[in-house]
Amino acid sequence: MPELPEVETVRAGIADHSLGRLVQAVRVVDARSLRRHLPGPAHFETALTGRALRGAYRRGKYLWLTLSESDGTLADEALVVHLGMSGQLLVRDEPGGVSGSDSEARAAFDEQPRHLRVALELGPVGATSAAGATRGAASTSRESTGQRLLFVDQRLFGGMFLSPLVPDIPAAVVVNEVAPDEMGQSEVPERFLVPEAVKHIARDPLDEFFDPAAVRRKFLRTSSGIKKVLLDQSVISGVGNIYADEALWRARLHYAKPARTLSAAQTRELLEAVTQVLRESLAAGGTSFDALYVNVLGESGYFERSLNAYGRAGEPCHRCAEAGRTSLMVREPFQNRSSYRCPHCQRAPRSR
């Protein structure tokens, strides 16, 4: 399942290739991918058409695109995308020209990917006043042609939907010395607006307003195993099974150790490990075990080459090997999934 690095890679790709483009048409191929858009497919198509893609944002594993109205003002709702287990957002640039090679490019552009669920037909950058509100006039061949933004999802656990934008101003921020509940939406900076459906998701370790002290307080309030808490998106977002195992290995913690038993130093070390592994994976373009995770250009990430724990059952623990010890990684059942750990470095808690 795509976790923070994979979703951030997709978000960055959309920001680089698709912002400032007008949604000229929407084609819903499979309405099951819109099950969270309660008004239905027809409303989804109408609501998006004529608006421009304005900004690309992410919190945890959710990403959303803010929209511009025809007059360039910010729309009061955003397009939320959740990739689920196998979702992909793919960019297809419309080719220009009439040569033989361009004809082949046109055929590739028109080819419908397998498991296509939703397609957005986008115009050139800056082609309308709405698009121009976000990006300047077209300056490259890519920006001067149309584009398709395709939502592909084999397993149908992901989806797209529109959600109203609501303020979510961090406690550490004061905007014009006005209390957030006294401000109108138009007065709140766009980066402090989130889709209502996403507001319950906690900030992730790469968020500039991530609060380790708040996470520590949540740890102290629960006796649940630390891995279960790491996977709770209301405590800390963006971490899934892969990166939880990697961070726990780096912090030398067993997945079942009760969260409230972690010392302040252990909590700090664990959160630092989570942050490091997320940053390293993001730099590598994410983790791709199969063809289901790719970036917007269809390219795979390669962080799986750097994994120390996940998927390494029966292989030597890298840390133990460096210390001259022999310890083989083990795979153990965990909430209908698996956990990978080193029996020497990550000893089971006594209460287990």
Catalytic residue status for 3: yes
Q: What is the DSSP string of 190-220?
A: GGGEEEGGGTTSPPPTTSTT--HHHHHHHHH
Do the Cβ atoms of 309 and 241 come closer than 8 Å?
A: no
CA separation for the pair 341, 166 (Å, rounded): 41
DSSP one-letter code for 39: T
Catalytic residue status for 27: no
Torsion of CA 210, 212, 216, 219, to 10 degrees: 40
Catalytic residue status for 337: yes
Instruction: Characterize the bridge pairing of strands 159-167 and 77-82.
Output: antiparallel
Choosing from 61, 92, 250, 341, the catalytic residue is: 61
Q: What is the DSSP string of 77-107?
A: EEEEEE-TTTEEEEEEEPP-S-SHHHHHHHH
* CA-only gyration radius of the chain, Å: 22
Q: For residue 313, which amino acid is it? A: A
Task: Return the SS3 of 28.
Answer: strand
Instruction: Characterize the bridge pairing of strands 116-125 and 21-28.
Output: antiparallel
Among 84, 45, 37, smallest CA distance to 62 is for 84
Instruction: Please state, as a whole number, how many other Cβ atoms lie within 10 Å of the Cβ of residue 94.
Output: 18
In the structure encoding, which two tokens stand for residue 102, read together?
């361009």
Choosing from 32, 191, 325, 337, the catalytic residue is: 337
In the structure encoding, which two tokens stand for residue 8, read together?
């951030």
Which residues, 6+ apart, have CB-to-CB distance to 212 below 8 Å? 267, 268, 271
As to burial, measured by CB atoms within 10 angstroms (0-12 exposed, 13-18 middle, 19+ buried), residue 12 is middle
CA separation for the pair 233, 276 (Å, rounded): 18
Choosing from 3, 8, 77, 143, the catalytic residue is: 3
In the structure encoding, which two tokens stand for residue 23, read together?
């949604």
Among 190, 233, 194, smallest CA distance to 215 is for 233
Catalytic residue status for 2: yes
Which residues are catalytic, by number? 2-3, 61, 337
